[in-house]
Chains A and B, each alone.
Chain A
Amino acid sequence: QQPVQSPQAVILREGEDAVINCSSSKALYSVHWYRQKHGEAPVFLMILLKGGEQKGHDKISASFNEKKQQSSLYLTASQLSYSGTYFCGTDSLSGGYNKLIFGAGTRLAVHP
């Protein structure tokens, strides 16, 4: 049930790009992306809804392929502040409940 994130870890130099992928075996209503820095609470990045609507920060972009139940987060021209662990959360129906299930996370380290 837990979505699968790839890669597990990424190391970048400032200015480089990265893509983080999230895939699920279940039909999804939406995909959520959060970033958590060490010792801090997760912070919202983006929601991608079935049907194409997106809510999120202007500097972050992502895609949601409903048919393949996959989402990708695109980090371009990375900055030091992008470092942290990125979690995707998938919203799907299970056992009569709508659950937001998070993946194991992708650790991103950006170096000067």
Chain B
Amino acid sequence: KAGVTQTPRYLIKTRGQQVTLSCSPISGHRSVSWYQQTPGQGLQFLFEYFSETQRNKGNFPGRFSGRQFSNSRSEMNVSTLELGDSALYLCASSLGGWDEQFFGPGTRLTVL
């Protein structure tokens, strides 16, 4: 069974730009969650999508948005990038709810 995949793996952007990250969950998983990981803040929950609907969200500004498609693939968008957005962005998929989550390898975003 293929694991969670994320693309791209590395990304360098400049302040003010926007970025879209992609996550393909394990086949059959309908829940996709996104996390931001930084050395200072640890793992921070961004949002969770289930069957194309945002079901839960963390405390991030509106510049962070996401969506989920009918095949459960999910994208996360960050607009007007700031230096502080530099982080590892992880997505995780599960069958549903806060069940066992399978994390992808992450996308390392650097904002210059």
Verify B98–A32 contact, CB threshold 8 A. yes
> Is the interface on chain A under 10, 10 to 19, 20 to 34, or 35 or more residues?
20 to 34
Verify B90–A41 contact, CB threshold 8 A. yes
Cβ proximity bits B52-86 to A, threshold 8 Å, 1 near / 0 not: 00011110000000000000000000000000000
Size of interface on B: residues with Cβ below 8 Å to A: 22
B104 at the interface (CB under 8 A from A): yes
> DSSP class of B's interface residues: helix, strand, loop or mixed?
strand
Verify A42–B90 contact, CB threshold 8 A. yes
Chain A residues packing against B (C-beta within 8 Å): 2, 29-30, 32, 34, 40-44, 47, 55, 87, 89, 91, 97-105
Q: Which of A32, A34, A97, A104 contacts B57 (CB 8 A)?
A: A97
Q: How far is the CA of A44 from the CA of B100 in the complex (A)?
A: 6
Of all chain A residues, the one with the shortest Cβ separation from B100 is A44
Q: A29, A47, A97 — which one has the most chain B CB atoms within 10 A of its CB? A: A97
Minimum CB–CB distance for B60 against chain A, Å? 11
Q: Which residues of A contact B92 (CB under 8 A)?
A: 42
Q: Which residues of B contact A98 (CB under 8 A)?
A: 55-56, 98
